[in-house]
């Protein structure tokens, strides 16, 4: 990635409301993420955090309110032409029949964006960024959970994103692997200025990497600010939230 060609995107979420089958999931959410910031949205399963992330990437449209990326409506097709976005899905979403290198280079090959020698060079560089160059010929089934997460990050980086979204990047990882993935998120921002939005119920990750963060429960923002500001909150609901055993809470669908 060429640092001078990649400036982070600005994200504005304005009074967003969303319901599925008449069941409200988001209740007037307001957030702003500055360019180059790591912003963590933390909450228990079913709180609406992943639904909110899908609004940012343009996979959902709000029933009310709006989501803006660099001042443009996120769900509009033209927004992707003006801001490069990528998402690291919770399960990694690697194709099992392709090697790690083939997975990482798939986007460039499918869209005929570069000649093959350049694609090989990009794949090599992205794998090196996440420490997986030695695993390039392995299939996803041969990779550990942490390696699959890092592989998904490498694949997202092929798009040279200005905005990178992570949905539960440390779910099902042991603490060591979770820490490794967290360091990769921070390193990518440091090297390339990418704006990162991270959805997680992992408190260790959230407080370890966030510039700012928001706590969401039942589709409502309980509080937002720096990690220190959130920890210092006197709000009873926030204290209860932070004292809960969120990290080991089982996952459940957020849509009714």
Phi/psi of residue 30, nearest 5 degrees: -125, 120
Residue 174 lies in a domain: yes
Query: According to the model, what pLDDT value does residue 179 have?
Result: 85
Query: According to the model, what pLDDT value does residue 80 have?
Result: 64
Residues 69 and 186 in one domain: yes
Residues 53 and 65 in one domain: yes
Residues 207 and 80 in one domain: yes
Cα–Cα distance, 228 to 104 (Å, whole number): 37
Of 141, 159, 177, at which residue does a domain stop?
159
Residue 248 lies in a domain: no
pLDDT tens across the length of the chain (256 residues): 444 345 789 999 999 999 999 999 999 999 999 999 999 998 887 889 989 999 998 889 999 999 999 999 987 776 666 678 888 877 667 888 999 999 999 888 888 888 898 999 999 988 887 888 888 999 988 988 778 888 888 888 888 889 999 988 888 777 887 888 888 889 888 888 899 999 988 888 999 999 999 999 899 999 999 999 999 998 888 888 888 744 444 343 344 3
Residue 67 lies in a domain: yes
The CATH number of residue 191's host domain is 3.40.50.300
Say how far residue 53 (Cα) sits from the centre of its chain.
Answer: 8
Residues 151 and 165 in one domain: no
Query: According to the model, what pLDDT value does residue 3 have?
Result: 42
Residue 256 lies in a domain: no
What are residue 225's DSSP bridge partners? 213
Residues 151 and 169 in one domain: no
Residues 123 and 215 in one domain: no
Residues 155 and 166 in one domain: no
Residues 56 and 183 in one domain: yes
Say how far residue 248 (Cα) sits from the centre of its chain.
Answer: 20
Cα–Cα distance, 197 to 48 (Å, whole number): 14
Residue 252 lies in a domain: no
Alpha-carbon dihedral 178, 181, 183, 189, rounded to 10 degrees = -140
Of 159, 182, 210, at which residue does a domain stop?
159
Note whether 180 and 151 are within 8 A (CB).
Answer: no
Residues 171 and 193 in one domain: yes
What are residue 16's DSSP bridge partners? 29
Q: Which domain holds residue 150?
A: 94-159
Straight-line distance from the first to the last Cα atom of the chain, in angstroms, rounded to the nearest whole number: 40
Note whether 25 and 45 are within 8 A (CB).
Answer: no
Residue 255 lies in a domain: no
Residues 21 and 131 in one domain: no
Of 159, 179, 207, at which residue does a domain stop?
159
Residues 134 and 196 in one domain: no
Model confidence, pTM? 0.82
Residue 190 lies in a domain: yes
Residues 145 and 172 in one domain: no
How many domains would you assign to the chain? 2
Residue 209 lies in a domain: yes
């Amino acid at each position: 990635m060429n640092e001078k060609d990649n400036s982070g995107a600005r994200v504005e979420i304005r009074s967003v409301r969303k319901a599925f089958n008449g069941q409200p999931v988001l209740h007037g959410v307001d957030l702003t993420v500055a360019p180059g910031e790591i912003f963590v949205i933390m909450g228990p399963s079913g709180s609406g955090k992943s639904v909110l992330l899908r609004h940012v990437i343009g996979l959902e449209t709000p029933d009310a309110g709006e989501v803006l990326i660099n001042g443009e409506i996120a769900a509009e097709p033209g927004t992707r032409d003006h801001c490069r976005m990528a998402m690291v899905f919770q399960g990694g979403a690697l194709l099992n029949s392709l090697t790690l290198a083939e997975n990482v280079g798939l986007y460039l090959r499918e869209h005929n964006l570069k000649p093959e020698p350049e694609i090989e060079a990009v794949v090599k560089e992205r794998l090196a960024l996440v420490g997986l160059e030695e695993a390039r010929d392995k299939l996803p089934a041969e990779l550990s959970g942490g390696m699959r997460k890092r592989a998904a990050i490498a694949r997202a980086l092929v798009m040279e994103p200005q905005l990178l979204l992570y949905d539960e990047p440390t779910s099902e990882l042991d603490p060591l692997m979770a820490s490794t993935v967290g360091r990769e998120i921070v390193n990518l921002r440091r090297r390339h200025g990418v704006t990162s939005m991270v959805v997680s119920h992992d408190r260790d990750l959230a407080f370890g990497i966030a510039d700012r963060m928001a706590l969401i429960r039942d589709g409502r923002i309980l509080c937002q600010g720096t990690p220190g500001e959130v920890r210092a909150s006197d709000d009873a609901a926030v204290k209860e939230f932070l004292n809960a055993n969120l990290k080991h809470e089982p996952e459940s669908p957020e849509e009714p």
